[in-house]
Amino acid sequence: MNTPTIGRYPATRLRRLRSTSWSRNLARETTLTPHDLILPLFVLPDSGVVTEEIESLPNVYRYSIEALLPVCQQAIDLGIPMVALFPCTPTALKTPDAVEAFNPESLACQAIRAIKAQFGDKIGVMIDVALDLYTSHGHDGLLSADGQRVLNDETVEALVKQALNYARAGVDAVGPSDMMDGRIGAIRAAFEAEGFVDTQIVAYSAKFASGLYGPYRSAVGSASQLGGASKASYQEDAGNVKEALHEALLDVAEGADVVMVKPASYYMDVIAKVEEACLVPVWAYQVSGEYAMIMAAGERGWVDSERVLLEALLCLKRAGCSGILTYGALQVAKILGG
């Protein structure tokens, strides 16, 4: 970039444009709107209208399908374009081979069908593709016979079956969040072969092995399955940015429509670089630990959690992403909507 000519004080006073609210509004380079937000929703297998609080995620709930539908309506009314579903699979249905992931009558498929039947194209529905919500061991993939390794190619086959199961139920976008090699290409090929040419793939390309997933794992009940096991053999190392770019470029080449960086706020350099290198939109996932930390400090009166949440999301947009999954989506959209 050419170095622009820089004026000198007092001819240049940068405070001039900051001096009033109308002027700050005109000078702002990045803005946050409800259209930028994707609302994650935890789904319960219960019948009837059931809503459960999640202790580690203030203002976030688990909903039965019946309770979920009015929340989707609320999201639509607030201008939120998409929800991301996370089914809380009963422990009894979790197995080493994750067969429930392929069940057309699974909780996930029922939720997808219910939302699409009621709202059609008024709201997008996305769902994670990974086996962690269905495995008795809590890993995103299938294990070797000795239980020591997460198998790549066997897992990719299972992920393709899972993705097709969701596509047949009518999901708009699948989000492979498993970090196996080659899964985007395999899913894309299967979608083409079955005629799901418009089903989007939102690739969790740069998903890091992070300490920030704790509240999510307790919310979906995968923490107890996983025990102390690490996902470091498939999720990325927090120190690596070249590798994150490599993942994103591969995923785009394999047919990803959107690439995602996760977690978000500690990885803004990754967002900026991926955005520069890829021609597809970049999304970020403000994960459960990020949200919980802001809310916890707010509860203690140490920060204004609403203000920090808005700041965190705006800064993610500034870093280069066009969509953000956040547990604060409803809360934030209400504030933005005035």
- With CB under 6 A as the contact rule, the residue among 94, 116, 137, 217 that binds ligand PBG is 217
Q: Please spell the DSSP secondary structure of 15-46, one letter per residue.
A: TTTTSSHHHHHHH-S----GGGEEEEEEEE--
Residue with smaller CB distance to ligand PBG, 4 or 239: 239
Shortest Å, Cβ 86 to ligand PBG: 7
Residue with smaller CB distance to ligand PBG, 86 or 191: 86
Find out whether 1 and 296 touch, Cβ atoms under 8 Å. no
- With CB under 6 A as the contact rule, the residue among 177, 200, 205, 225 that binds ligand PBG is 177
Shortest Å, Cβ 54 to ligand PBG: 11
Residue with smaller CB distance to ligand PBG, 165 or 177: 177
By Cβ distance, which residue is nearest to ligand PBG?
216
- With CB under 6 A as the contact rule, the residue among 171, 264, 287, 295 that binds ligand PBG is 287
Catalytic annotation, pick one of 94, 116, 231, 262 = 262
Binding mask 220-249 for ligand PBG (x = CB under 6 A): --x--------x------------------
Find out whether 327 and 295 touch, Cβ atoms under 8 Å. no
94 near ligand PBG (CB under 6 A)? no
Query: Is 262 noted as a catalytic residue in this protein?
Result: yes
Catalytic annotation, pick one of 207, 231, 273, 317 = 207
Residue with smaller CB distance to ligand PBG, 128 or 275: 128
Strand-pair partners of 323: 283
Residue with smaller CB distance to ligand PBG, 56 or 73: 56
Query: Is 207 noted as a catalytic residue in this protein?
Result: yes
What is the three-state SS of 170-210?
A: CCCEEEECCCCCCHHHHHHHHHHHHCCCCCEEEEEEEEECC
Residue 229 has, within 13 A of its CA and on its CB side, a CA count of: 23
Q: What are phi and psi of 118, to 5 degrees?
A: -80, -40
Helix ranges (H only) for 208-323 are: 214-220, 223-226, 242-254, 268-277, 288-299, 305-319
172 near ligand PBG (CB under 6 A)? no
Q: What are phi and psi of 236, to 5 degrees?
A: -80, 155
158 near ligand PBG (CB under 6 A)? no
Find out whether 316 and 264 touch, Cβ atoms under 8 Å. yes
Q: Which residues 104-133 are close enough to bind ligand PBG by CB under 6 A? A: 128, 130, 132
Residue with smaller CB distance to ligand PBG, 134 or 191: 134
- With CB under 6 A as the contact rule, the residue among 106, 111, 137, 140 that binds ligand PBG is 140
Find out whether 279 and 286 touch, Cβ atoms under 8 Å. no
Number of residues that bind ligand PBG (CB under 6 A): 12
Q: In Å, what is the CA distance from 79 to each residue of 101, 223, 322?
A: 31, 33, 15
Find out whether 248 and 274 touch, Cβ atoms under 8 Å. yes
Active-site residue list: 207, 262
Q: Where does this chain bind ligand PBG (CB under 6 A)?
A: 128, 130, 132, 140, 177, 213, 216-217, 222, 231, 287-288
